[in-house]
Amino acid sequence: MVYSPKEDSYLLKKWVIKLSKGKKVLDMGTGSGIQAMAAKLGGAVSILGVDKNKKAIELSKLNAKKLGFEGVEFKYSDLFLAVNEKFDLIIFNPPYLPFEKGLNYEKDYDLVGGEKGNEVSIEFLKQAIEYLNNEGIILMICSSLSDPFEIFNYAESFKYNYEILEELRLDFETLYCVKFYLKN
């Protein structure tokens, strides 16, 4: 299964277009490739989309080709495992649903972010420091379903500042588009 773009994807896309001009971009968990292509629309100078789902990589490549987005590279990587360079902008729409009985973790792994839903986001932020240029930023979606304030507390302990750029209230949750950047 590859996550189809929904409200969270479109919220993030808006900010990716605004903040990618002239930047070297990494789209973590690229899925359908929507954020990588948004970075191209926004004027990024180079774009790498990675995902641990091989079907997502195939779909992203197909979508980019079909929509005429040349110059966007996609490759397999579980978080930063196959990444060996630094970026000005790292984008992540992580799996953020808490694990619930009845979910098939193998089938729904692109939706579930761990027991509380925020474990993947926290691990991502912990690792991302090594791949972010000094003046670089991270754009990430957080959800009220997975205790975003715990993510923010961890981010501060990892030496990030953060800014909530926009909130989107839905019937069942609030989504946050958050900008993280290194403390000086």
Q: Other CB atoms closer than 10 Å to residue 64's CB: what's the count? A: 23
Helix%, strand%, coil% for the chain, nearest 5: 35, 30, 35
Q: Which two tokens stand for residue 53?
A: 């789902």
Residue 2 lies in a domain: no
Determine whether 117 is exposed, middle or buried from the number of CB atoms within 10 Å of its CB (0-12, 13-18, 19+): buried
Concatenated DSSP letters for 51-118? ES-HHHHHHHHHHHHHTT-TTEEEEE-STTTT--S-EEEEEE----EEP-TT--TTTSTTTEEESSS-
Give the span between the Cα atoms of 156 and 180, in whole angstroms.
Answer: 10
Q: Are 169 and 126 in contact (CB under 8 A)?
A: no
If one counts the domains in the chain, the total is 1
List the domain range (segments joined by +) for residue 163: 7-182
- Decide if 1 is inside a domain: no
For every one of its 184 residues, what pLDDT tens digit does the chain have, with 9 covering 90 and above?
Answer: 676 788 999 999 999 999 999 999 999 999 999 999 999 999 999 999 999 999 999 999 999 999 988 889 999 999 999 999 999 999 999 976 666 655 554 555 566 556 676 888 999 999 999 999 999 999 999 999 899 999 999 999 999 999 999 999 999 899 999 999 998 7
Query: Do the domain assignments include residue 78?
Result: yes
Q: Could you tell me the two tokens for 52? A: 């641990």
**Residue 147 covered by a domain:** yes
8 Å CB contact between 149 and 178: no
User: Tokens for 137?
Assistant: 């930023």
pTM of the model: 0.92
- Does residue 26 lie within any of the structural domains? yes
Q: Is residue 115, in this structure, part of any structural domain at all?
A: yes
Contacts of 126 by beta carbon, 8 Å cutoff, 6+ apart: 154, 158
Count of C-beta atoms within a 10 Å radius of residue 66: 8
Residue 63's domain is classified under what CATH number?
Answer: 3.40.50.150
